Amino acid sequence: MSSSTQVGRLWGVGLGPGDPELVTVKAARLIGAADVVAYHSARHGRSIARALAEPYLRGDQVEEPLIYPVTTETTDHPGGYQGAIDEFYAECAARLAAHLDAGRDVVVLAEGDPFFYGSYMHMHKRLAHRYPTEVVPGVTSVSGAAAVLGRPLVERDEVLTVLPGTLPPDVLAERLAATDSAAVLKLGRTFDNVRAALDKAGRLDEAWYVERATTEGERVAPLAEVDPATVPYFSLALVPSPVNAQNPEVPAAEVERGTTRGEVVVVGLGPAGRPWLTPEAQDALASADDLVGYGPYLARVPANPRQRRHASDNRVEAERAAHALELAQAGSRVVVVSSGDPGVFAMASAVLEVASEPRFQDVPVRVLPGLTAAQAVASRVGAPLGHDFCVISLSDRLKPWEVIAERLAAAAKADLVLALYNPASRSRTWQVAAMRDLLLEHRAPETPVVVGRDVGGPEERVRVTTLGELDPAQVDMRCLLMIGSSTTRVVRRSDGDTVVFTPRRYPA
């Protein structure tokens, strides 16, 4: 792509919000033809922009990583943070200018749109007046988030305001109160201030949180329900169009009977986000009129203004099931969501139990499977469930501890691998230690134990320990435990990875 002029040409190329298929045809062409490809990154050297552009790189191009000397850290630069950043941009511009002076065309990659809070603009300001320059727009994170959320940003005469979360909370609140729709970027460390500003402006209940929109790691939830500790920089807050505000929930008696017969479909969402969701489950979710479920699980389903959402507490399974069946009885296509697989310690049995009552005998009920937490945790370490295993819940909310203890002892005597759900909660803190002590009566202290927490989620952590060294203080409700059998093995491979597996062949 070398220019016929004496100097090279500068291109600022937008790559969109994260889905590689949202890179424009023009952007892909320019990336593949460039002499030099430049991109920004933090000091760890990993560049999201380069990762998005990688499918279009030739492999023989000059790459110029523009590595920030600081991001949000302190610096001993005499000019402070701003002085260090200004010096960095000047040095980067000089490096690119050397290529342009030599007649090489330079593409500077930018996530989203180059002129929408993009780092490219700092190169543009320093170089565009000296060299032929063109900017290729990209899909912004705001557009990507609105698309993922399934809610229009603005309609007719509404006003959209885009705000950085770095503004003081009082200023944010004032701006949020005065606009129809809003997008607040640069969350991460600013999340608490942004949430407080939305609350002060009276907009918190309207606000949605969107993380890593259009990527496999995307997350959508009502902003009020988001844990600040889980918020990365690549996330934003949206207050969508009030004209298109979601309809309030409609009582079952008022749901209009559709042309198709109502039904209840119980869907397993898997252990975390969309990558764990089966296509069959995705189709059921997309086709539903009403979504019913425990609030945090329901929040994992992208919002659709066509659908009604009925969130409830985790301890009202029977009431939730009856509500779903009543909606279906009135003609609605209802999906009841569960984490993991709905038939494993989840909503399928509750729905079927209530559906067996005479008043609901005519309501069709289907159950769609999902990946279980046990499968997810096992996959992270290898194949601990490679032979016979037993699944037990340690929760004594719906069955006596004495029954749990008898089943643990029986499984231990049978030399089964155990997958233990619901090991602890805020109100149940002693069961893990009791389980450990009981199993040590039948298993060696060296028995492998896998502790998986939030597998597939932002706080994923998987540890391999032993039954004798299992620390109950490190286990909570978001964990799943796997206790090996006498044949379960832990092997450290040459690449440094530790794998756990239970051989399929059992000693005679």
pLDDT of residue 3: 45
* One domain for residues 185 and 298: no
Is residue 415 domain-resident? yes
State the chain's maximal CA–CA distance in angstroms.
85
Q: Count of domains in the chain? A: 4
Tens of pLDDT along 80-124? 777 788 898 999 999 999 999 999 999 999 999 999 998 899 999
pLDDT of residue 276: 86
pLDDT of residue 496: 82
Tens of pLDDT along 284-321? 888 889 999 998 899 888 888 788 999 888 778 899 99
What tokens does 343 get? 């038939």
Q: What is the mean pLDDT of the chain?
A: 89
DSSP 301: S
Tens of pLDDT along 423-466? 988 778 789 999 999 999 999 999 999 999 989 888 899 999 99
Q: With a cut of 50, say whether residue 254 has pLDDT above it.
A: no
CATH number for the domain that contains residue 206: 3.30.950.10
Q: Which residues contact 276 (CB under 8 A, 6 or more apart)?
A: 269, 270, 370, 371, 376, 456
* One domain for residues 105 and 168: no
pLDDT of residue 70: 67
pLDDT of residue 79: 66
pLDDT of residue 85: 87
* One domain for residues 133 and 163: no
pLDDT of residue 248: 38
Tens of pLDDT along 360-385? 989 999 999 999 999 999 999 999 99
CA–CA gap between residue 402 and residue 397 (Å, rounded): 12
CA–CA gap between residue 14 and residue 153 (Å, rounded): 21
Question: Is residue 189 classed as helix, strand or coil in its secondary structure?
Answer: helix
Instruction: Tell me which of 244, 265, 290 is where a domain ends.
Output: 244
CA–CA gap between residue 85 and residue 70 (Å, rounded): 7
- Burial (CB < 10 A; 0-12, 13-18, 19+), residue 352, is middle
Residue with tokens 């342009």: 100
Asked if 188 and 232 count as a contact pair (C-beta separation under 8 A), the reply is yes
Phi-psi category of residue 112: left, alpha or beta, with phi > 0 → left and psi -120 to 50 → alpha: left
Mean pLDDT within 176-185? 95
Is residue 271 domain-resident? yes
Instruction: Tell me which of 341, 368, 395 is where a domain ends.
Output: 368
At 275, is the pLDDT very low, low, confident or very high (cuts 50, 70, 90)?
confident
CA–CA gap between residue 15 and residue 51 (Å, rounded): 10
* One domain for residues 205 and 257: no
Tens of pLDDT along 329-348? 999 999 999 999 999 988 99
At 258, is the pLDDT very low, low, confident or very high (cuts 50, 70, 90)?
very low
Report phi then psi at 271, rounded to 5.
-80, -15
What tokens does 401 get? 């501890």
Asked if 281 and 318 count as a contact pair (C-beta separation under 8 A), the reply is no
Instruction: Tell me which of 319, 335, 368 is where a domain ends.
Output: 368
Tens of pLDDT along 196-236? 999 999 999 999 999 999 998 899 999 999 999 999 888 99
pLDDT of residue 501: 96
Our CA angle for 477, 296, 471, nearest 5°, is 15
pLDDT of residue 134: 96
pLDDT of residue 286: 84
Mean pLDDT within 43-69? 87
CATH number for the domain that contains residue 130: 3.40.1010.10
* One domain for residues 167 and 284: no
pTM of the predicted structure, to 2 decimals: 0.50
Asked if 327 and 334 count as a contact pair (C-beta separation under 8 A), the reply is yes
Which amino acid, residue 142? V
* One domain for residues 315 and 276: yes
CA–CA gap between residue 203 and residue 503 (Å, rounded): 56
Mean pLDDT within 479-484? 94
pLDDT of residue 259: 38
Residue 304 structural domain: 252-368
CA–CA gap between residue 56 and residue 75 (Å, rounded): 36
Q: With a cut of 50, say whether residue 252 has pLDDT above it.
A: no
DSSP 129: T
Asked if 18 and 53 count as a contact pair (C-beta separation under 8 A), the reply is no
- Burial (CB < 10 A; 0-12, 13-18, 19+), residue 120, is buried
